[in-house]
Amino acid sequence: MPRNLEGRIALVTGASRGIGRAVALALGAQGAKVVVNYVSNEAAAAEVVAAVVAAGGKAVAKRFDIADGAAVDAAVKEVAAAEGGLHILVNNAGIAVNALTLGAKDADWRRAIDVNLTGTFNCTRAALRSLMKAKEAGRIINLTSITAEAGSAGQGPYVAAKAGVIGLTKTWAREYASRGITVNAVSPGYIDTDMTAAELPEERRGDLIKSIPLGRVGRPEDVAAAVAYLAGPAAAYVTGQVLRVNGGLLM
Ligand SMILES: NC(=O)c1ccc[n+]([C@@H]2O[C@H](COP(=O)([O-])OP(=O)(O)OC[C@H]3O[C@@H](n4cnc5c(N)ncnc54)[C@H](OP(=O)(O)O)[C@@H]3O)[C@@H](O)[C@H]2O)c1
């Protein structure tokens, strides 16, 4: 594994499980010091820190709720002060909210938007000053979803939030290009994590796999490889893009 990110500080939100965990391991293996954010699962975050360290990397855990703007501001400030800066922000934390529109409650809408969209906004706004100081190394990578482009019955609030993340990605790419920050999104298809385990019953899995040209469900590591590419020097001339990692499910 090339150590392309030596000396970089990377904040990965929602890194205690699933895709965020794989991103933390991938960035750590490339030499970045990883700040492993979580909201409730302290033991899982500690396990990720230990796994990064066991692989020869550096990591610390940091609890905050991305939906809480004041908490995000304080936490990002603390991280930048403690680590001496911030170079890479991966806005990965997210929640699935399942509700058909007719039956959706105000709380379903609000929670999906608060975490998935406002959370991404909060973290980026808080990190921007530090990322500007990173000069040409500043990177923002946002996790959107295949559903933002394809729609998803029963997930309207989540889809709206993830479509908003694509708009923010392109907006931030334009706003901060002159400050040397690249901003891209990674759009996973169907990836095996706790989020999807809760949604897809085993009996529908076979049908899903048949619809994926590459013939399998994605792994967190498939997505982490795309994030690591966008975080590194090889992607210096890539900004405002949405990189789909979906086995060909949407082309
Ligand atoms: N899995 C897929 O197929 C798929 C497809 C498309 C897009 N995505 C997107 O990829 C990202 C990661 O998904 P995943 O499947 O890895 O999810 P996951 O396995 O459910 O993990 C979610 C992570 O987000 C954290 N989190 C949740 N709410 C938070 C909050 N308010 N503040 C801080 N952290 C919070 C969780 O922390 P705790 O452990 O503390 O709860 C956990 O680390 C999400 O943005 C998701 O929408 C996933």
Residue 241 pLDDT > 90, yes or no? yes
What CATH number did the domain enclosing 175 receive?
3.40.50.720
Contact of 152 with 97, CB cutoff 8 Å: no
pLDDT of res. 198: 81
Residue 204 within a domain: yes
Nearest CA to ligand 1 atom 11: 92
Tens-digit pLDDT profile for residues 68-116: 999 999 999 999 999 999 999 999 999 999 999 999 999 999 999 999 9
Q: Give the number of domains in the chain.
A: 1
The pLDDT of 191-212, averaged and rounded, is: 91
The pLDDT of 237-244, averaged and rounded, is: 98
Mean pLDDT of the chain, nearest integer: 97
Tens-digit pLDDT profile for residues 27-48: 999 999 999 999 999 999 999 9
Distance CA 239, CA 237 (A): 7
Encode 117-180 in three state secondary structure: HHHHHHHHHHHHHHHHHCHHHCEEEEECCHHHHHCCCCEHHHHHHHHHHHHHHHHHHHHHHHHC
Alpha carbon separation from 195 to 91, 102, 199, 202 (Å, rounded): 16, 23, 7, 14
Q: How many Å lie between the centroid of ligand 1 and the Cα of residue 178? A: 31
pLDDT of res. 20: 99
Residue 215 within a domain: yes
Residue 251 within a domain: no
Residue 3 within a domain: no
Distance CA 69, CA 164 (A): 18
Catalytic residue among 158, 176, 229, 237: 158
| Total count of residues recorded for the chain | 251
Ligand 1 within 6 A of 178 CB? no
Contact of 157 with 103, CB cutoff 8 Å: no
Domain residue limits at 164: 9-245
E runs forming strands in the chain: 9-12, 33-38, 58-63, 88-91, 139-143, 182-188, 242-245
User: pLDDT confidence of 199, banded at 50, 70, 90?
Assistant: confident
The pLDDT of 174-185, averaged and rounded, is: 98
Q: How many Å lie between the centroid of ligand 1 and the Cα of residue 92? A: 6
190 is catalytic: no
Ligand 1 within 6 A of 247 CB? no
Contact of 190 with 219, CB cutoff 8 Å: no
Ligand 1 within 6 A of 66 CB? yes
With the most atoms of ligand 1 within 8 angstroms of its CB, the residue from 159, 187, 193, 222 to mutate is 193
Nearest CA to ligand 1 atom 42: 14
Residue 87 within a domain: yes
Q: Max Cα separation, the chain?
A: 50
Distance CA 195, CA 223 (A): 15
Atom of ligand 1 nearest to the CA of 67: 31
